[in-house]
Structure 1
Amino acid sequence: MELKLAWRLFKRELSQGQLLLIILAITLAVLSVTGLASVSERLQLAINGQASKFIAADRIINSPKKIDPAVLAIADDIGLSRVTSMQFNSMVYAGDEFQLVTVRAVEEGYPLKGNIELSTGVAQGLPSADNIWFETRLGGLLGYPKQIEIGNASFGLSKEIVRLPDAGFNPFASSPVVLMRIEDVDKTQVIQPGSRVTYLYQFSGDSAKLDAFEQQAKPLLNTSQRWVDVQSGDSPIASAVKRAERFLLLASLLGIALACAAIGIAAQRYCQRHYDVVAMLKTFGASAKQIRVLFGTHLLLVTAVGVVLGLVGGFGLDRAITSFLPAEIAAYSPPISRPILLGIGTGFISAFMFSAYPLMRLLAIPPLRVLQGHLEGLQLGMWLHFLLSLTAMAILGYLYSQSLPLTLTVVAAVLLLGLLLSVLGFFMIRLGHSVGMKTTNPLQLALAGLRRRARQNAVQLVGFSSALVLLLTIFALRQDILNEWQKQLPENAPNYFLVNIAPEETNAIADFLKPHVKIPPVIYPVIRGRLTAINDELLISSEQKKTGEEGRVGISRELNLTYRDSLPENNEIISGSFNQDINDVSVESGVAERLGLVLGDSLTYTIDNQTLTVKVASIREVHWETLQPNFFMIFTKEALAPFAYTSMSSFHLEDSQRSVILSLIKQFSTVSIIDVGAMVMQLRQIIEQVSLSLTLVMVLVLLASALVMIAQTEAGMASRQRELAVLRTFGASGWLLRAATGLEFALLGTIAGVLAVIVAEFTLYLLKTQVFELNVYMHWPWWAIAPLCGGLVVASLGLWRCRQLLNKSCGELLKAH
């Protein structure tokens, strides 16, 4: 009986349009989450797919020896594509000329991602047997011979390599690269027991297979073997990819928060509208169980309709957005199961949790309300509603993001917003109490309206403020991320590096480049040295530590050291002062943390069999993502003056100026030139795609925020219609009512704008310091712009929604009521 009545009630209210608000809210919730999840997952796949070209694969296992065949068997069983390559240093000979090179020996199928770029274009396949491809500068160093010798084998020099996809970026690695087939390595006989060789096992496949492989293979790796992907830090795009993924995740997470706010508002309105219905049912003898089944089933039907519409709308939105994406992004197809499950879960969990408190109040309505319309029954504390809502939001947020910092940040923002609404918002709304019911001017009438609808307006402030917080947060983060990338890769970013510059050539090279470059290049001296002691405590290697030796672990290799009179660009002092005394040294923050260094520590280096002791005077944060020369340690010139050095520099040349490079090679034959132009271009392409992705996600959030604001203005239409009917009866003019309504909504929007700025600044502080690692600063223009825009937008929405009511006569309003 109850189910039948619930179905009849559902059909009647659906046909009369009374369910529009709550269905719209649930649809909006599911549409936002499903649409944002689908789009963001597609963008994440695309960004990672494009960035994986920097490592020529999706995953790499880097090992100093051949890995266990069981690991490769796992990849084969899962169905991943894989290739094996070797990397080692060797001398090559051409007649009387010789040169140290980095040998890349690869097997058929390399590269799995990206392309080998030759001087003649994109490579098709690999070098033929007994032939090698060589980096352009090797030809110049050896005089372009037809053949070279590596170990006991001779090879023909067939084609020039412009760039390998996984060449990486290391201006200090000045050895030219040669590419050969892996089966030709045995002929050279250069690999002997004890030889230093790096084995690279590269894998590619879809994300599900890669995840399965990672779970099974990682436990089989030892401490000398590294698992590498585009986010491991080996790729210059690693930081950009991480930040982009966090941004997309955050946008979707805030979409969930926005959707939950919409459902909570709609559920409260739905239950308020049925107070009289429950009172009537109880008067006619309906039991509490019958009423629970009736409205529980009714709410379930409403939620199901909203979920279905939201899923359809979400995937329609994904299709529409995808049609505007570049082909290389649209080609990626993420699995649809997660967006579907997330959408359904969001719809039902949020509908239940956000409706629990209003439903409890609805079921507690006394039968006496039939005679006394002001009775509302059980008055539970709003804290219960807030607790249930916050719990639902936290559960959904963590299930979606699997990120505790992101979830806690959103929860903290909601808590602050709730606190401000309970204190500041309610206080400002009650300012209308002193004006009573005066209607002599629009402002007094608007303030009186705020006072009469204090509880309803407080609920509306939740929606308006949430939408504005979301917009401000997403806009600021997007702008900061794009600005950070622009700093890393400006238009004049260096595309050429010079290494091995002899001291006597420094001034000549600077003079040579001066007429060809817009920004004079900075020349850095480079001295090789090893850190041997900290505070007179001798350092040991990590290998020695493993064998049980006692001591402090240092850096098991030589470092590239430099001296500077001033702090380089893209470096920031986070503690201390930069090199004030002769024996001062500035240390990069990551190294300082790894070695446990603090200001005042004494560091001892061995350079050219000589000892140098200096004091840690400052700790620097270095932006390694920039294609600029950067160093772990920076000394004073006086400290490093006794030691021999070479120099390096970087500069930017337009493509049309390539002849300058040829002249530079001829004039300075001992200087090594590294062309990173192709890498810069590829980085820019990926960042452009990421920028587009962030913009699209922001547009989605903007649309979702607009829908929430529209839903909010819908919530108070019934009570507003009754009020307008009374005011019209007492002679209020149409102009007065329109002005008062506009001012009331404008005041609500202004208050929401103030609250939104406070919460957004707090949220951005947490996000920038705990998640995105960005600089924190106040957005002072927001304090004027956000309240002004909030007032204008909310006033416009309110007047647009109330336009029909405001145009009706007194008689029409009374009949409608």
Structure 2
Amino acid sequence: MSWQLAWRLFKRELSQGQLILIVLAITLAVLSVSGLARVSERLQVAINGEAANFIAADRIINSPVAIAPEILTIAEDIGLKHVTNMQFNSMVYADDNFQLVTIKAVGEAYPLKGVIELNSGETSSLPSKHQAWYENRLGGLLNYPKHVELGDVKFDMAAEISRLPDGGFNPFASSPVLLIRLADVADTGIIQPGSRVTYLYQFTGNPQQLTQFETQVKPMLNNSQRWVDVQSGDSPIASAVKRAERFLLLASLLGIALACAAIGIAAQRYCQRHYDVVAMLKTFGASGKQIRQIFTLHLLLVTGLGILLGLIGGMLLDYAINGFLPAEIAAYSPPYLRPIMLGVATGLISAFMFSAYPLLRLLSIPPLRVLQNQLEGLQVGMWLHLLLSLSAMALLGYLYSQSIELTMTVVSAVLLLGLLLSVLGFVMVRIGHGVGMKTTNPLQLALAGLRRRAKQNAVQLVGFSSALVLLLTILALRQDLLNEWQKQLPENAPNYFLVNIAPEDTKPLDDFLDSNNIIATDIYPVIRGRLTHINDEKLISRDQHKNGTQGRVGISRELNLTFRDTLPPNNEITQGTFNQTDDEVSVESGVAERLGLSLGDTLTFSIDNQRVNVTVASIRTVQWETLQPNFFMIFRPKALQGFAYTSMASFHLDDETLAINGSKLTANALVLQLIQQFPTISVIDVGAMVGQLRQIIDQVSLSLSLVLALVLLASALVLIAQTEAGMATRQRELAVLRTFGASGWLLRSATGFEFALLGAIAGFLAVIVAEFALYMLKTQVFELVVYMHWPWWAISPLAGAFVVAVLGMWRCRQLLNQSCGALLKAG
């Protein structure tokens, strides 16, 4: 019986259009979550997939010894592709010349991601047996020999390497790379027991395989073995990828918040529409159990329809957006299962938990309402509604993000937003109380309408302002991230590095760069030194600490130190002042935090077996992604006077033909001139890496724009749902005003003013909350510079007034054009 009544009620109200709002809200919720989840996951997979080209794989295990064979067996059982590489330093000989090199011995499947670029172009092959491919500067150091000797084998110098996909970027690297086959290592006889070798095991596969592999293998690794991916810091794109993923995650969580807001608005309206139905059922003798069953089944049918439409809409949205994506992003296709499951869970959880309190009020409607229409049910327990709503939002947020920190940040912001907007909105709307019921002026009538619907309008302000806050937040973060990346990689970002610059070459090099109109960075001296003591306390290595040695852990390698009188570009002092005396040093903030340093600490360095004592005078942040020379420690020149040093610099050179001193030269020809004039200087070309990095940044930028468009769509639907919620009350009021002779022009003007005032108030409050939310997000999540968005304080209220007025007038257009009789009949 209950099922039949619920089905009949569902069919009747669906055909009459009474369920449009609640179905639309649930559809919006499911569409937002499933569509955003699908698009966001595609973008995340694509970004990580493209960024994986920087490490030539999806995951790497870096180990000083061969890993356990069962790890490779696990990879094969899961279905991962893998390749084993080795890396070590050795001397190579060519006639009477010799040079220390980094040997990179690679397996047959190398590289798993990306391609090897030779001077002759890209290649998918590897050197043949007893052949070697060499870095450009190695050829210059050995006078481009045809053969080199490595251990017991003579290798043919077969090709010059332009770039390796996992070559990384380390301008301080003193050893050029020689690439050979892994099978040739045994023939050289170089690797002996005790030799220092790094084993690099590279893996690639789909996200599910990689997650399964990581779960099984990570616990099997020891302290000397490292798990590496594109976010581990070994890739120059790591920072951009992390921020982009956090943005996509945040945007999707805000989409969930928007969907929940729509559900809450619609659920309240849904229950209000059925007050009279419940009163009638109770009057005809229906029990409380029967009524609960009828409306639970009815809501389940409504929710099921909303979920179905939402899933279809989410798939269509993903399909439509995929058609506009670049081919390299569209090629990635994550599984559908998770977005579908998230959509279904969102529809069920949000529909029932956001409807719980309105349903309690609905079920408590007294039968006497049949005679006294103003009677309502449960009037207390709003705390229960807030608790259930926040719990639903937190549960959905965690199901989506798997991040307690980000979920609680969003929930806390939503709670603060709701409290602030409810209080301020109600107070500001009540300002119109003194206007009374005068109807001679549209503005007075609008203010009177705001006063009469003060409680309802306060709720509407929460909906309007929530949408505007989320829009402003996403818009500002997207722009700030794009600006940050643009600053890191401007069009003239350095694409050549000069290292091993001897002191006597500094002035001639400066003259060469000036005469050829090449804009370069400053020339930075580089001295190698080891930090040995902090405040006279001797430092120990990580290995010593792991073996039980007591003491303060330092940095287990030599540092590249520099000296100068002024603060370098892309550095910002956060504590103290830049070096004022010769015994002071400026320390990078990350190293200072790792070592527990503070201003005034005494540091002792060992440089060429001599002790150098300095005091920490300042701590500074460094933009490492700018591809310009940067250092952990900066001294005053006199502090390192007398120590031998070389220098480094970087510059930008376009590939196009250059007009130099009346003659035309290509960039390669000019670089060749530099090498010939300064044969001891090593030139590192990072142009290919910069181009690839910029391509990934462009893809990330497109991702942010697409997610912004989705949030814009969700926000617009929430605004429409919020406007729809007050239509029944407004219809009755228009009927009354028409009865008392109000003209159509007066009603249209007053309605427009009322919506515009609501939008302006919502816009003003949204700016306040958005500035606060951005402060928290920038300082706690994205590590961006905080600043006020002053134009918003004028633009947001005006935009809010315009958008809400247009939506309101569009929704009220039929009511405003109806006659008095039609309004009374419809009411």
User: Normalising by the residue count of structure 1, what TM-score does the alignment of the two structures yield?
Assistant: 0.99
Which shows bigger deviation, 512-521 or 311-320? Answer: 512-521
- The secondary structure found in structure 2 opposite 1:573 is strand
Q: CA deviation at 1:538?
A: 1.6
Q: Does 1:647 pair with 2:647?
A: yes
User: Is residue 554–residue 595 contact of structure 2 (8 Å, CA) maintained in 1?
Assistant: yes
Which shows bigger deviation, 468-477 or 278-287? Answer: 278-287
Of 693, 707, 731, the residue aligned with 1:683 is 693
Partner of 2:586: 586
Partner of 1:760: 770
Q: Does 1:732 pair with 2:742?
A: yes
Identity of aligned residues (%): 76
Q: CA deviation at 1:502?
A: 0.4
Letter in 2 for 1:694: L
Task: Evaluate the alpha carbon distance shift between residue 728 and residue 68 of structure 1 in structure 2; reply closer, same or farther with a 3 A threshold.
Answer: same
Partner of 2:660: none
Q: CA deviation at 1:518?
A: 5.3
Q: Deviations over 1:259-295 (max 9, x none)?
A: 0000000000011111111111111111111111111
Letter in 2 for 1:809: S
Partner of 1:703: 713
User: Is residue 422–residue 459 contact of structure 2 (8 Å, CA) maintained in 1?
Assistant: no
Q: Deviations over 1:767-812 (max 9, x none)?
A: 1122111111221211111111001100011111111111122222
Distance 1:515 1:425 in 2: 66
Distance 2:234 2:299 in 1: 52
Distance 2:652 2:106 in 1: 32
Letter in 2 for 1:65: V
Distance 1:619 1:60 in 2: 33
User: Is residue 521–residue 628 contact of structure 2 (8 Å, CA) maintained in 1?
Assistant: no
Partner of 1:801: 811
Partner of 2:784: 774
Which shows bigger deviation, 742-751 or 758-767? Answer: 758-767
Structure 1 residue runs of 5 or longer lacking an equivalent are none
Distance 1:539 1:390 in 2: 49
Q: CA deviation at 1:521?
A: 2.5
Q: Deviations over 1:503-560 (max 9, x none)?
A: 0100111111124345343100001111111111122222223333332221121110
User: Is residue 588–residue 622 contact of structure 2 (8 Å, CA) maintained in 1?
Assistant: yes
Partner of 2:385: 385
Distance 1:755 1:604 in 2: 54
Partner of 1:660: 670
Q: Deviations over 1:392-424 (max 9, x none)?
A: 111111111111221111111111112112321
User: Is residue 426–residue 458 contact of structure 1 (8 Å, CA) maintained in 2?
Assistant: yes
Which shows bigger deviation, 380-389 or 66-75? Answer: 380-389
Partner of 1:282: 282
Letter in 1 for 2:512: F
Q: Deviations over 1:268-325 (max 9, x none)?
A: 0011111111111111111111111111111111010000000000011000001110
Distance 2:473 2:599 in 1: 36
Q: CA deviation at 1:459?
A: 2.0
Distance 1:25 1:515 in 2: 67
Partner of 1:788: 798
Partner of 1:449: 449
Structure 2 residue runs of 5 or longer lacking an equivalent are 657-666
> Deviation above 6 Å: which 4+ runs of structure 1?
none
Partner of 2:478: 478
Distance 1:286 1:548 in 2: 76
User: Is residue 520–residue 652 contact of structure 2 (8 Å, CA) maintained in 1?
Assistant: no
User: Is residue 510–residue 521 contact of structure 1 (8 Å, CA) maintained in 2?
Assistant: no
Q: CA deviation at 1:194?
A: 2.0
- The secondary structure found in structure 1 opposite 2:179 is strand
Partner of 1:206: 206
1:6-85 to 2 correspondence within 5 Å? 6-85=6-85
- The secondary structure found in structure 1 opposite 2:497 is strand
1:617-636 to 2 correspondence within 5 Å? 617-636=617-636
User: Is residue 27–residue 307 contact of structure 1 (8 Å, CA) maintained in 2?
Assistant: yes
Q: Does 1:673 pair with 2:683?
A: yes
Q: Deviations over 1:729-764 (max 9, x none)?
A: 111111111111011101111111122112211211
Distance 1:719 1:92 in 2: 88
User: Is residue 520–residue 650 contact of structure 2 (8 Å, CA) maintained in 1?
Assistant: no
Which shows bigger deviation, 25-34 or 636-645? Answer: 636-645
Partner of 1:420: 420
User: Is residue 517–residue 653 contact of structure 1 (8 Å, CA) maintained in 2?
Assistant: no
Partner of 1:3: 3
Q: Deviations over 1:621-649 (max 9, x none)?
A: 12222211111100011111121111000
Partner of 2:247: 247
User: Is residue 280–residue 370 contact of structure 1 (8 Å, CA) maintained in 2?
Assistant: yes
Distance 1:445 1:560 in 2: 73
Which shows bigger deviation, 148-157 or 253-262? Answer: 148-157
1:176-195 to 2 correspondence within 5 Å? 176-195=176-195
Q: CA deviation at 1:192?
A: 1.9
Q: Deviations over 1:335-364 (max 9, x none)?
A: 111101100010010000110111111111
Distance 1:542 1:206 in 2: 34
Letter in 1 for 2:728: A
Q: CA deviation at 1:816?
A: 2.4
Q: Does 1:305 pair with 2:315?
A: no
Letter in 2 for 1:692: L
User: Normalising by the residue count of structure 2, what TM-score does the alignment of the two structures yield?
Assistant: 0.98
Letter in 2 for 1:249: L
Partner of 1:815: 825
Letter in 2 for 1:666: Q
Q: Does 1:358 pair with 2:368?
A: no
Letter in 2 for 1:798: G
Distance 2:710 2:326 in 1: 18
- The secondary structure found in structure 1 opposite 2:466 is helix
Partner of 2:576: 576
User: Is residue 58–residue 229 contact of structure 1 (8 Å, CA) maintained in 2?
Assistant: yes
Q: CA deviation at 1:455?
A: 2.2
User: Is residue 604–residue 613 contact of structure 2 (8 Å, CA) maintained in 1?
Assistant: yes
1:219-298 to 2 correspondence within 5 Å? 219-298=219-298
Distance 1:679 1:716 in 2: 57
Letter in 2 for 1:711: A
User: Is residue 516–residue 653 contact of structure 1 (8 Å, CA) maintained in 2?
Assistant: no
Letter in 2 for 1:430: R
Partner of 2:661: none
Q: CA RMSD in A?
A: 1.1
